[in-house]
Amino acid sequence: MATIAAEMKSKGIDLINFSVGEPDFNTPEHIIKAGKLAMDKGYTKYTAGPGMIEFREAICDKLERENNIVYNSESILVSNGEKQSLYTACQALFDKGDEVIICKPYWVSFPEFVHMADAIPVMVKTKSKHNYEVDFHDLLNQASSKTKGIIINTPSNPTGGVWSDDALIELLKIAKMNNWVIISDECYERLVYNGQFNSTEKLNRTYNIGATVITCMSLSKTYAMTGWRIGYSAGPQKIIKAMSKLQGQATSCANSIGQFAGIEALNGDQKCVNEMLTLFKQRRDYIVKLLNELPEITCPVPQGAFYAFPDFSHYLNRRSEEKLLQDTFDISEYILSLANVVTVPGDGFGAPGHIRFSYATNKKNIKKGIMKVRRALEKLI
């Protein structure tokens, strides 16, 4: 979809883009200033492999202050984006033939991280009516003696689902009992609209469960810093050390300027985060209302992140002038070619019938884009 959209854009076609996986805001000014200062001060060289000690200490302070989890800097690994954290965790933890559970719908990279470790992703379905939490009977039915871990992502890309504390606690207990590692992707932790976000590891410690959890977090979404490439993992020292060895051979260290700016992001004024959250919430309410007003479309209210994930299955097997729309790749392509609106087909996330709409765009675009989708749907036979 991105390739077709880029081609259309190069021809001067005006597109509305609901496919964006990053905030549409620029990085807040005080963080940019810190990045400039880093360069002026000469922070332009390699840093310690696991990350600058000052940054790892800032991460420990943040984890204690915001997530109520106490770590020391030896338990932190800074990476070039959380994507590298997740990839490295899978490489360090899983081997040929291991099975790793992934909740479906999933972020597209999860199965690939598992495949690249020569392990086997095992999908467990989740449903919007159950808050996109796993059904624990299904989970146990899919598990085997080869299961080594589970990757969870709450708040979720693509669904915006946020697991309840009860579900996380249940999962932690099952993981402990079966000796599974939980990789908890919490990159949207600050984008939660109702209620408080609780980190999986915080619940693990509060309820004394003793499961092994690798927490992966990012500065990308919280501080609109996707291009700075700064993410990090926190977990048991032995695992972090193994990940650090691997990462050291792959990329030496994370971007030094991004790490320096990251200290300011974590320690500095958090007003920018709350301002973004307020805007995202307004947009969420707006896009969900407009999507639910489309004929035969239902869109659950996402509780976090910046994605709406409506059900378009009513439009499967309908016809455009050119072809039969057999899956959401066809529907998204049809919407793009007829309405110049870019969306992301749910089939890629293991969710046939659904389409992902990112609301990291302003309300004017949201209104214009959804109206165009409506007109395109009305033309289907």
Tell me the C-alpha distance between 363 and 279, whole Å.
Answer: 10
Indicate the residue among 56 and 330 with the shorter CB distance to ligand PLP: 56
If phi > 0 it is left, if psi is from -120 to 50 it is alpha, else beta; for residue 233 that is beta
Indicate the residue among 8 and 20 with the shorter CB distance to ligand PLP: 20
Whose structure tokens read 């002038």? 321
Closest CA to 159 of 186, 131, 199, 180: 131
Indicate the residue among 159 and 332 with the shorter CB distance to ligand PLP: 159
**What's the count of helices (H) and strands (E) in the chain, helices before strands?**
13, 12
- Give the nearest distance from C-beta 208 to ligand PLP in angstroms: 28
> Which of 38, 117, 168, 187: binder of ligand PLP (CB under 6 A)?
187
Contact positions with ligand PLP (CB under 6 A) in 189-218: 218
Indicate the residue among 220 and 340 with the shorter CB distance to ligand PLP: 220
List Cβ neighbours of 212 (8 Å cut-off, separation of 6 or more): 175, 180, 181, 182, 235, 236, 239
Q: Which segment (81-89, 239-247, 253-261, 364-372) binds ligand PLP by CB under 6 A?
A: 81-89
Q: Which segment (76-84, 123-131, 202-210, 334-342) binds ligand PLP by CB under 6 A?
A: 76-84
Rounded to 5°, angle at Cα 29 from 27 and 34: 95
- Give the nearest distance from C-beta 341 to ligand PLP in angstroms: 20
Contact positions with ligand PLP (CB under 6 A) in 126-185: 153, 157, 185
Using the rule CB under 6 A, is 21 a contact of ligand PLP? yes
List Cβ neighbours of 160 (8 Å cut-off, separation of 6 or more): 284, 302, 303, 304, 305, 306, 307, 308, 309
Cβ-contact 323, 330 below 8 angstroms: yes
Cβ-contact 233, 266 below 8 angstroms: no
Closest CA to 59 of 48, 70, 44, 47: 70
Indicate the residue among 214 and 377 with the shorter CB distance to ligand PLP: 214
- Give the nearest distance from C-beta 155 to ligand PLP in angstroms: 9
Using the rule CB under 6 A, is 306 a contact of ligand PLP? no
Q: Which segment (1-9, 41-49, 77-85, 233-241) binds ligand PLP by CB under 6 A?
A: 77-85
Tell me the C-alpha distance between 136 and 177, whole Å.
Answer: 14
Closest CA to 52 of 34, 33, 26: 34
- Give the nearest distance from C-beta 106 to ligand PLP in angstroms: 9
Using the rule CB under 6 A, is 107 a contact of ligand PLP? yes
Indicate the residue among 217 and 376 with the shorter CB distance to ligand PLP: 217
> Which of 56, 83, 190, 356: binder of ligand PLP (CB under 6 A)?
83
List Cβ neighbours of 149 (8 Å cut-off, separation of 6 or more): 93, 94, 98, 100, 101, 180, 181, 182, 183
- Give the nearest distance from C-beta 153 to ligand PLP in angstroms: 5
Indicate the residue among 210 and 227 with the shorter CB distance to ligand PLP: 227
> Which of 81, 262, 302, 346: binder of ligand PLP (CB under 6 A)?
81
> Which of 17, 220, 320, 340: binder of ligand PLP (CB under 6 A)?
220
Q: Exposure of 273 by Cβ count < 10 A (0-12 exposed, 13-18 middle, 19+ buried)? A: middle
Using the rule CB under 6 A, is 348 a contact of ligand PLP? no
Indicate the residue among 209 and 240 with the shorter CB distance to ligand PLP: 240
- Give the nearest distance from C-beta 162 to ligand PLP in angstroms: 13
Whose structure tokens read 């890629």? 348
Indicate the residue among 192 and 376 with the shorter CB distance to ligand PLP: 192
Tell me the C-alpha distance between 226 and 228, whole Å.
Answer: 6
Residues near ligand PLP, by CB under 6 A: 21, 81-83, 107, 153, 157, 185, 187, 218, 220, 226, 231
